[in-house]
Each structure stands twice: as C-alpha cells, then as structure tokens.
Structure 1
Amino acid sequence: MPQIEQLSEVLSSQVFWLLVFFGLTFLVVGLGMVPKVMGTVDLRDRQIADDLAAAQAARDAADSEEEAWRKRENENRAAAQAVIAEAKAKAAKASETKLAKAQAKLDKQLAEAEAGIDAARASAMAEIEGVAADAARDIVARIAGTEVESAAAEAAVKEVMAHG
C-alpha cells in the first residue's frame, strides 16, 4: 500500500512541525497569556481580601458605635428614672403637705362641731331639767295635791339625772 509506505517519509516531518507548533503554542500561551491570567487572579484575590478586611473594619466600627450608643442610652434612661423618682418624691411631699393642711382644717372643724354639740347637749339638758322639774311639780300637785317649790323640784331632778 502506497499510503503506508509514504507514512515513513512524512512522519518525521509531521512530528517536527507538530513539535514546532506545540512549542510556539506553549510559548504564546505559557509566557504570554498565563501570566496575564494569573495577574488578574492575583489582583482579584487581593481585591477580595481588601474588601473583606474593609468589611470587618466597618463591622468592628459599627459594633463599637452600637456599644457606645447602648451605653449612652442606658445613662440617659438612668437619668430619666432619677428625674422621675425626684418628681414623684416632690409630688408625694406636696401631697403630704396638702393632706396635712386638710387634716388640720378638718380637725379644727371637728373640734368646733364637737364644741357646738356639747353646747347643744348642755342647753338641751338644761331645758330637759327645766321641763322635768315642771313636770315633777305638776305630778306632785295632781297626785299629792301639794305645791312643791321650783328650787326643790329642780334639785330633785338634778339628783336623779346625776345618778341615772
């Protein structure tokens, strides 16, 4: 077969050109394109690392800001609670003062009312004694048919009321 006989003559030439083509391809790709691709990959890796570092720094800054804010918020809350407690204490003291004044006024009115009641009681007792003395004189006059002096009837009524 002529194709097979020809193969031995062309084979060395084809292998030579194959090695030349792959060598040139290796030089172009290996020395020209690969370093550019690797440079791009390295640049991308550095950019990602820088972005991660910046994100972590931002997170740390945000955490410290949040902690400072919480501290200020707690201080403000404590100050507000102190103001509220002070206001409550002032209000309680003012209420206590008003209640004391009102109680004193009520005590005075009660004392005046008790004095009025005592005076009315004394007056009523005096009237009752007078009416009782008159009734005793009338009863003695009707039953016994004798007249009793007013002073004696009043003395007898006073004595009975003192015991009773």
Structure 2
Amino acid sequence: MSTPHVLLGLLAAGPRHGYDLKRAHDERLPRAKPVAYGQVYATLGRLQRDGYVAPSGQDRDAGPDRTSFALTDTGRAHLDRWLTEVETPAPYVVSTLFTKVVVSLLVADEHRARDYLIAQRAAHVQRMRELTQLKTSPGAGLTDIVAADYALGHLDADLRWLENTLRRVAELSSEVHR
C-alpha cells in the first residue's frame, strides 16, 4: 500500500489535519493495516517537502493546535499520474507461504511439508469463512464487501496453490534432495 498516495487521495476532497486523515484512512480502508499517527505526520512532512501538500490553516478542538493540509496542484497532478499507472505484476514469488514449503522440504521430509500445507489450508478455509460472514452481515458497508472480495480472491488463489502443492509434495521432496 502507498500511504502517501492514500493521503493525497483523502486530501483531494479538501483540507484535513493528521488526526482526521488517520481516521479517514482507517474508515475508507477498513481491512488494511491501520496507519499510525506518527506515520501520517511523517508522510505529511515528506509530502510537504516534495510540494504535494501545503499547510492550509490551524484549528484547536479542545486540544493542541492542529495544522490542516491541502493538496497542491503539483500534488493533484502527482496523484493523477499515479492513478493511471498500471501496476506491474510481481516478477518474483514473495510469499512466506511459498518459502515455508520449500524450506520445510529442505530441512525435513515430505511429511513435515504435507502437515504444514494441511494446517495452512485449514487456516485459509477458516479465514475465508470469516470474510464471507463479514461481507454478508447486515452492517457490512460497500467498502467492507469490496475489501472482503479482494481478500477472498487472494485466499482462493493461495488455496488452489496449496491443493496443487499438496498433490506434488513427494515429487517436490525428491527434487529438492537431488
């Protein structure tokens, strides 16, 4: 996730201060890792340094002064460029799941890899049930549903890989030990 671009996108609706940006981030991206206040302010500092945002005023709501930031024309152009860039599919397998299977075959035998794959499959199925329940619950908003669909798609792909790999464990084990 690109925190700077998310903050620029949130500022596209109008000036906001860091606390408001953090709340808006966590509301708009409910299934994403929550962003810390410190990260928001550090990112705003970099965005200001790069000319993408500028202070637009200060307010005090029963607490310390809070500086609001607004998107600059340069920031809007940067955000617009980013939104049109197609993401390159990952050129490498970057997955702890994949790495654990290969390493378990290196340091143990096919039984350990098989046990891991079976346990991981159960964990994926359980998470898929939770997400399906979440997206069909009465209080689910559209953002919750879209986030759950995204996660379910990835879990489904992982689950298919787990099943295929489970069928190939013996073959993989002999190949790794050659």
- Give the TM-score range, shorter chain: under 0.3
Structure having the larger proportion of residues in strand: 2
TM-score by length of 2: 0.21
TM-score by length of 1: 0.23
Higher relative contact order (CA 8 A, sep 6+): 2
Structure having the larger proportion of residues in helix: 1
